Structure 1
Amino acid sequence: MKLSANLGFLWADRPLPDAIHAAKAAGFDAVECHWPYIFDIKEVSMALAETGLPMLGLNTDRGDTSVGENGLSALVGREADARAAIDQAIAYAAALNVPNIHVMAGFAQGDAAHACFIENLIYACENAAQHGMTILIEPLNSYDAPGYFLTTTRQGLEVIKDVGRANLKLMFDCYHVQLMEGDVSHKLKALLPHIGHIQFASVPTRGTPDQGELNYAHVFKVIKGLNYSAPLGAEYKPSGDTDASLGWMKTLAG
């Protein structure tokens, strides 16, 4: 099984180029990011070339975090800002050959927010298609992100249907899905044609996957049985030093 290190959480205390090298040394097959924009593209590109690791994905900018924003694309009246964030993400991803961009919806509710999200996603998909990229949307759980627009895989499928673009897929984060819906194994099977990337962390603490209520030995076996061969994203929060948290790589994914 191939694994991707999410450098938004793993080695988050290091500059991104250094974190990429740490992921390589730890045995990961790929990396992914949250918001890499403060780091020089040339330095990040050099680190990827030196390690031979692909970067699988990154997120659009959250907006004004000082007032608690967590994405812009479902915010009515912020369409220009949302599309600027999409443009920024596509440009950064294109420079690094990143195949996936997670377009963040933000805190919003209602039909107007849905329509706004659809239009911004159409914009994102059409521009991303010019670079052969996939746009991802991710349901977030209501415990960590109360008020976030997109919360369930069912809602995600409705959005995908309304957008109607082949390069729009679900980011299936087992942690979020388990907290909101449960039944992760069956949902993986049912949603596989719509899944663009899979992530994991323990439930409910979002720690290493060898603890908590979700049996990842079983979940990983299910994913293998689906012939899903892309790297799985380790997006958990280490309780201390990242290197000291990696024992699960041998016991669960070895």
Structure 2
Amino acid sequence: MPRFAANLSMLFTEVPFLDRFERAAMAGFEAVEFLFPYAWSAHEIRQKLDQNGLKPVLFNLPPGDWDGGERGIACHPDRIEEFRAGVTQAVEYARVLGVHQLHCVAGKRLAGVDEATHRRTYVENLRHAAAELKKANLRLLIEPINHFDIPGFYLNGTKQAIEILDEVGADNLLLQYDIYHAQRTEGELAATMQRLLPRIGHMQLADNPGRNEPGSGEINYAFLFGHIDRIGYDGWIGCEYKPAGRTEDGLGWRQRLAQ
């Protein structure tokens, strides 16, 4: 049976962030992920994890001005020093929190910057980040995101992502496969998961349309959860969806679809 981690940046959002850990534990989750921990001290978050018996499985490198609309800076040639400082900060948080993998948000393409410069910057930044994370025994992840939700996002599909992984050439750099984003850009979910399984370090889910709970849309999650078990994926699946109502009221999908 798949193992599900609550994404605390999407679930239980009616309460402050530090209160979401208790809510996740009470809802039966054993693990959590979140976008960014940097507004709180690492020790505050670690205390909440320990108090509620939760395992942290993932968070992101600093993304630039997220509230201002930035979605990562890894492909931005004018932000390399800021990116590398963020890697150092994220590794320190990971050490305190006990997280073993971090996601690098690629960023949006910049007007006036050509494709070769975007790619060269992204690859060089990933090489640096992977090397720094490897010193700390951490894995680095990259995630293709659909161009409907984030127009102009640099990394859009698994083919491009695998090419980037190969070019970087780091053995601790893996793919974060988000089922929702993949459905919106490519489809072929089951075959792609099976083909790329050795390159996948983490999975996430939501249904389409609407990015709501599994079972609310067109994706056959009952089949996919069985398929994920059959192909041997043994990592966590992050629940990165928008609850249609109160989070707890929509969690019945775990029993209906993931048996």
Aligned to 1:180: 185
Q: For 1:166-212, what per-residue CA distance to the aligned partner results, in whole angstroms no more than 9, with x for missing partners?
A: 00000000000010000000000000000000111001210000121
1:94-109 alignment runs, 5 A limit? 94-108=95-109
Judging changes above 3 Å, is the alpha-carbon distance between structure 1 residues 70 and 54 closer, same or farther for their aligned structure 2 residues?
same
**Which residue is equivalent to 2:151?**
146
Question: 1:151, 1:180 within 8 Å by CA — same for their partners in 2?
Answer: yes
| Equivalent residue, structure 2, for 1:207 | 212
Tell me the distance in 1 between the aligned counterparts of 2:84 and 2:101: 16
Which residue pairs with 1:65 in the alignment?
66
Q: Alpha-carbon deviation of 1:79?
A: 0.5
Describe how 1:12-51 pairs up with structure 2 within 5 A.
12-51=13-52
TM-score between both structures, scaled by the size of structure 1:
0.96
The residue that corresponds to 2:175 in the other structure is: 170
Distance apart, 1:67 and its partner CA: 4.2
After superposition, what is the alpha-carbon deviation per residue over 1:208-251, rounded to whole angstroms, capped at 9, x for unaligned?
00121110001111100012122211110012211112111211
**Equivalent residue in structure 1 for 2:136, among 131, 138, 145:** 131
Alpha-carbon distance, 1:25 to partner = 0.9
Which letter does structure 2 place at the counterpart of 1:180?
A: T
| Residues 55-93 of structure 1: per-residue CA shift (max 9 Å, x gap) | 001012221235421100001111111112222211111
What is the root-mean-square deviation in Å for CA atoms of aligned residues? Answer: 1.3
Residue 4 of structure 1 is matched in structure 2 by: 5
Matched residues in 2 for 1:133 and 1:18: separation?
Answer: 27
Q: How far 1:51 moved relative to its partner? A: 2.0
Residue 84 of structure 2 aligns to which amino acid in structure 1? R
2:5–2:236 Cα contact (<8 Å) kept: yes
Question: Partner residue of 1:192?
Answer: 197
- The alignment status of 1:114 with 2:119, answered yes or no, reads yes
How far apart, in 1, do the equivalents of 2:253 and 2:231 lie?
22
State the secondary structure of the residue aligned to 1:197.
Answer: strand
Cα distance in 2 for partners of 1:104, 1:80 equals 16
Cα distance in structure 1, aligned partners of 2:46 and 2:7:
17
Q: Percent identity?
A: 38
How many equivalent pairs are there?
A: 254
Change (3 A) 1:128 1:219: same
Output the TM-score relative to the length of structure 2: 0.94
Gaps of 5+ in 2: none
Deviations 1:11-53 (A, max 9, x none): 1233333211111111112100101211222221111112221
